[in-house]
């Protein structure tokens, strides 16, 4: 008996990445995949209107689309689950894509056959499970997901107990009303226009939406809406299945924070800093603005650890982090690289005086005594400053320049120093 092939759509404009995915799928042990490949989002949309696919592998950076908009546009026409393919430095974007409706994401440099097959099968199974849940009238009154049914005019004709549990409204308050009563005000009219366009065109919509409970609390939910047709093919009802994802979002936020922030100080960590620097440099070049990187190293911090212990050293680092945050503008980023090394990104630098003013503010702030082990101790720092575009607009180069300037400031006993290229 022949095994049914799973029809996969790959949307990828990098020939090397596309070739790798093809080799992993076609050469897989189960060998049940049929792969179509396109290089542009517009071609993917055309292909989706012509064929049914089991899953979509979607690169976020295409010649005619980039970023989260790529997921939103493909989800507007696709019924198959979307798995995002992203580069090594696109972790933040990939997580945002998942929150925008993608089922999963894979980092290109880490894709293996087992990871790829598992992601595809997981996405397909999750998609099937959601559809089955939406159609399961037998458990209407017992499932934890809220089910809300409207007529073709949008009047609510039925809800299950979970809707009351989620929203706080009982059946009598909702029947005859429009689901607009739940709107939070967070979405603009275009959001709802796109939702209804999908319903009217494709007969379904799914995604994350923010609604308001009877208490006034705004909460996130995962909402799936399907049009119900009669035997003549006319829409008679819309069925919405809602899941309160507040705890899931909170868990995601906690995981994301732990992954991107330093556990001791709460500041962004090295990975977060590099991602922000890449983004800031791109914005600086796009908007023709200047940017500065300040590398900060505490002087004689080892002596605190050696004489007072690591616990006092931790307190010193925590206090230093708070003083650095108070010394910069709200738009600036303060991160801890590790040990006693901190780094700051200053955007929209009109002149060098901004850097000097912030460096001097930091120096004064750190000079305030810290009570460690019952004794006042003073901390000082050496600060190195590099500038984009003067010193280059590549992240690693700016970091190296700031680091070199910091060591020059330390050796000369200066509070801060700008990078000066050797001639």
pLDDT single digits (tens) 322-334: 999 999 999 999 9
Last residue of a domain, one of 132, 157, 179: 132
Q: Are residues 265 and 413 in the same domain?
A: yes
CB atoms within 10 A of CB 386: 25
Q: Are residues 240 and 371 in the same domain?
A: no
Residue 423 in domain: no
Query: pLDDT averaged over the chain?
Result: 90
Residue 403 in domain: yes
Q: How far does Cα 128 stand from its chain's mean position?
A: 25
Q: Are residues 274 and 227 in the same domain?
A: no
What percentage of the chain reaches a pLDDT higher than 90? 62
Q: Are residues 60 and 202 in the same domain?
A: no
Q: Are residues 108 and 143 in the same domain?
A: no
Residue 364 in domain: yes
Q: Are residues 278 and 356 in the same domain?
A: yes
Average pLDDT over residues 346-372: 93
Going by pLDDT thresholds of 50, 70 and 90, the confidence category of residue 1 is: very low
Q: Are residues 212 and 293 in the same domain?
A: no
Q: Are residues 45 and 94 in the same domain?
A: yes
Lowest average pLDDT, out of 115-129, 207-221, 391-405, goes to 115-129
- Give pLDDT, residue 96: 82
What confidence tens digit (pLDDT) does each residue in 96-151 have?
887 888 888 888 888 888 889 998 998 888 878 777 765 665 556 667 889 999 99
CATH number of the domain within which 162 lies: 3.30.450.20
Residue 58 in domain: yes
Q: Which residues, 6+ apart, have CB-to-CB distance to 112 below 8 Å?
A: 24
Q: Are residues 310 and 178 in the same domain?
A: no
Q: Are residues 222 and 265 in the same domain?
A: no
Q: Are residues 266 and 413 in the same domain?
A: yes
What confidence tens digit (pLDDT) does each residue in 7-39 have?
999 999 999 999 999 988 887 767 688 899 999
Asked if the model's pLDDT at residue 320 lies above 50, the reply is: yes
Sheet holding 82-86, edge to edge: 33-38, 6-11, 55-59, 82-86, 104-107
Q: Specify the number of domains making up the chain.
A: 3
Average pLDDT over residues 303-311: 84
Q: Are residues 265 and 380 in the same domain?
A: yes
- Give pLDDT, residue 242: 94
Residue 322 in domain: yes
Last residue of a domain, one of 246, 276, 293: 246
Structural domain for 239, as ranges: 137-246
Lowest average pLDDT, out of 126-135, 289-298, 357-366, goes to 126-135
CATH number of the domain within which 34 lies: 3.40.50.2300
Last residue of a domain, one of 184, 217, 246: 246
Query: DSSP letters of 314-375?
Result: HHHHHHHHHHHHHHS-TTSEEEEEETTEEEEEEES--SHHHHHHHHHHHHHHHHS-EEETTE
Q: Annotate 169-208 with b (16+ C-beta within 10 A) or e (fewer).
A: beeeebeeeebeebeeeeeeeeeeebbeebbeeeebbbbe
- Give pLDDT, residue 328: 95
Going by pLDDT thresholds of 50, 70 and 90, the confidence category of residue 349 is: very high
Token readout for 68 is: 């989260």
């Amino acid at each position: 008996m022949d095994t049914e092939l799973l029809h996969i759509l790959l949307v990828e404009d990098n020939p090397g990445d596309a070739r790798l995915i093809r080799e992993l799928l076609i050469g897989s042990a189960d060998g049940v995949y049929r792969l179509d490949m396109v290089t542009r989002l517009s071609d993917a949309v055309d292909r989706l209107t012509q064929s049914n696919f089991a899953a979509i592998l979607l690169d976020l950076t295409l010649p005619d689309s980039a970023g989260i908009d790529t997921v939103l546009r493909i989800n507007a026409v696709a019924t198959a689950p979307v798995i995002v393919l992203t580069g090594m430095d696109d972790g933040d974007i990939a997580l945002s894509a998942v929150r925008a409706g993608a089922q999963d994401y894979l980092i290109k440099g880490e894709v293996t056959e087992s990871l790829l097959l598992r992601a595809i099968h997981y996405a397909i199974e999750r998609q099937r499970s959601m559809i089955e849940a939406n159609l399961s009238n037998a458990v209407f009154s017992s499932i934890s997901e809220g089910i809300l049914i409207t007529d073709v005019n949008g009047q609510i004709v039925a809800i299950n107990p979970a809707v009351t549990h989620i929203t706080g409204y009982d059946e009598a308050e909702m029947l005859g009303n429009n689901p607009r009563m739940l709107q939070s005000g967070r979405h603009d009219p275009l959001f709802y226009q796109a939702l209804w366009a999908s319903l009217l065109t494709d007969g379904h919509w799914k995604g994350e939406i923010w609604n308001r409970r009877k208490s006034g609390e705004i909460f996130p939910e995962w909402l799936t809406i399907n049009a119900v047709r009669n035997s003549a093919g006319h829409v008679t009802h819309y069925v919405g299945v809602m899941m309160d994802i507040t705890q899931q979002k909170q868990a995601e936020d906690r995981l994301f924070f732990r992954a991107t922030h330093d556990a001791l100080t709460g500041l962004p960590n090295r990975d977060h800093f590099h991602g922000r620097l890449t983004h800031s440099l791109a914005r600086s070049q796009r908007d023709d603005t200047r940017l500065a990187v300040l590398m900060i190293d505490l002087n004689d911090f080892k002596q605190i650890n050696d004489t007072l212990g690591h616990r006092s050293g931790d307190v010193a680092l925590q206090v230093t982090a708070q003083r650095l945050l108070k010394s910069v503008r709200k738009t600036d980023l303060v991160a801890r690289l590790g040990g006693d090394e901190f780094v700051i990104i200053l955007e929209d630098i009109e002149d060098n005086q901004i850097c000097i003013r912030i460096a001097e503010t930091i120096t004064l702030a750190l000079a305030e005594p810290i009570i460690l082990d019952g004794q006042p101790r003073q901390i000082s720092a050496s600060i190195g400053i590099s500038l984009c575009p003067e010193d280059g607009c590549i992240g690693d180069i700016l970091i190296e320049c700031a680091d070199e300037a910091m060591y020059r400031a330390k050796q000369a006993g200066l509070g801060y120093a700008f990078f000066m290229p050797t001639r």
